[in-house]
Amino acid sequence: MYNLQELAQFIDAKLIGDADVRIGSVASAISAKNNQLTYVVNQKYKSDLVSTQAGVVILNHDLLKDCPTNALVVDDVYLAFAQITHYFKKEVTPVNGIHSSAKTGQANIAQNCTIGKGVIIGRNTSIGSNTVIEDNVTVGDNTYIHPNVTILQSCSIGNNVVISPGVVIGSEGFGNARDKDGCWHAIAHLGNVIIGNNVTIGANTTIDRGTLEDTEIHNGVRLDNLIQIAHNVIVGENTAIAASTAIAGSTVLGKRCMIGGMVGIIGHLNICDDVIVNGGSVVDKHIKKPGIYTGIMPLMPHKQWQNIGLWLVKLDKIVKYLNIKLKNLKD
């Protein structure tokens, strides 16, 4: 726990409020409680700020008048947030073999595994050699973890899950803030990865932990090899994703979706239930209606693509215009 005076000094912020308030963790503005810190970058998130229950908010001077609680006022909110997350990152307990506090029950654990502090492993679960499971991870019943898998701290794996070799679950997300000198400062990702029941995860797939909230893989999901799932992504029940697909942060996929191989999905999108995306496509906008979608163009010089892309988005209007002209000529 840190008091606000300590936190203000750490990020060189102006403290508005009670310096003795103690903060134990970081959360989003929507979910934060009175013993947690949050941040609000700009006016886009003003409604979240107004309703927040957080004990303190990192913000800039323009938002101060809308803050209902204690404030840490800075010029660069995102940079200050990146710096302060490291205050709350939990260190992993160094361990060789199986930590004495781990509850392995009836699990079958191969040689050369590392099982951390507070780990709980369910019945009839098998763990292959050279697998690392860090502190406070939970693994359900009847789960099969192949060799050379890494599951980082505090993640949760459900029942009847199959995790193939080389999978990494709970790695740091790709979040960085740049200072005035152009140097990058990594954000410590404080959320976890939650994997439901009856999930399969292909070889060398990586699933990043959430920034503040959790990354979620829901029941019945099928993930192929070499998939990248970024921080705070949610994959809905019984969705299947083919190899080499990459999903950027904070995107939500609905239930029963099918995503082809080598698809790229940019961040902060919502894809509804029962969507099929054909292989090689790039998804760059929300998908609100079920159906089959394709977004593929031949390779060409970028300048040519810019010109073609400009016309492509106007094709429907051009067709309507030509149809009207044609009709007028016939009349």
Contact predicate 199/181, CB 8 Å: no
Contact predicate 137/154, CB 8 Å: yes
Level-2 CATH architecture, domain 108-293: 3 Solenoid (2.160)
Interval 205-237: pLDDT, tens: 999 999 999 999 999 999 999 999 999 999 999
Bridge partners, residue 70, by sequence = 56
Contact predicate 187/175, CB 8 Å: yes
Active site residue 231: yes
Contact predicate 23/10, CB 8 Å: no
Contact predicate 269/285, CB 8 Å: yes
CA distance 237 to 188: 28
Interval 276-324: pLDDT, tens: 999 999 999 999 999 999 988 777 888 988 888 888 888 888 888 888 8
Contact predicate 78/211, CB 8 Å: no
Interval 63-89: pLDDT, tens: 999 999 999 999 999 999 999 999 999
Interval 235-285: pLDDT, tens: 999 999 999 999 999 999 999 999 999 999 999 999 999 999 999 999 999
* This prediction's pTM: 0.90
Strands 176-178 and 184-186 turn out to be antiparallel
Interval 53-67: pLDDT, tens: 999 999 999 999 999
Fold of 2-85: 3.40.1390
Angle at 168 between CA 162 and CA 173, to 5 degrees: 130
> How much is the pLDDT for 82?
96
Catalytic-labelled residue, pool 99, 146, 218, 231: 231
Least confident of 86-100, 132-146, 147-161: 86-100
CA distance 135 to 151: 9
Residue 329: band (very low, low, confident or very high) from pLDDT cuts 50, 70, 90: confident
Residue 95: band (very low, low, confident or very high) from pLDDT cuts 50, 70, 90: confident
> How much is the pLDDT for 326?
84
Of residues 114 and 106, more confidence is placed in 114
- Provide the mean pLDDT of the chain: 95
DSSP single-letter state for residue 90: P
At 14, list the tokens: 């102006």
> How much is the pLDDT for 300?
80
> How much is the pLDDT for 296?
83
> How much is the pLDDT for 159?
98
Strands 2-3 and 22-23 turn out to be antiparallel
Which sequence spans correspond to the domains of the chain? 2-85, 108-293, 301-331
Interval 154-178: pLDDT, tens: 999 999 999 999 999 999 999 999 9
Tokens 């970024």 belong to: 230
Domains 2-85 and 108-293 share a fold: no
* pLDDT over 80 at 125, yes or no: yes
Residue 196: band (very low, low, confident or very high) from pLDDT cuts 50, 70, 90: very high
> How much is the pLDDT for 252?
98
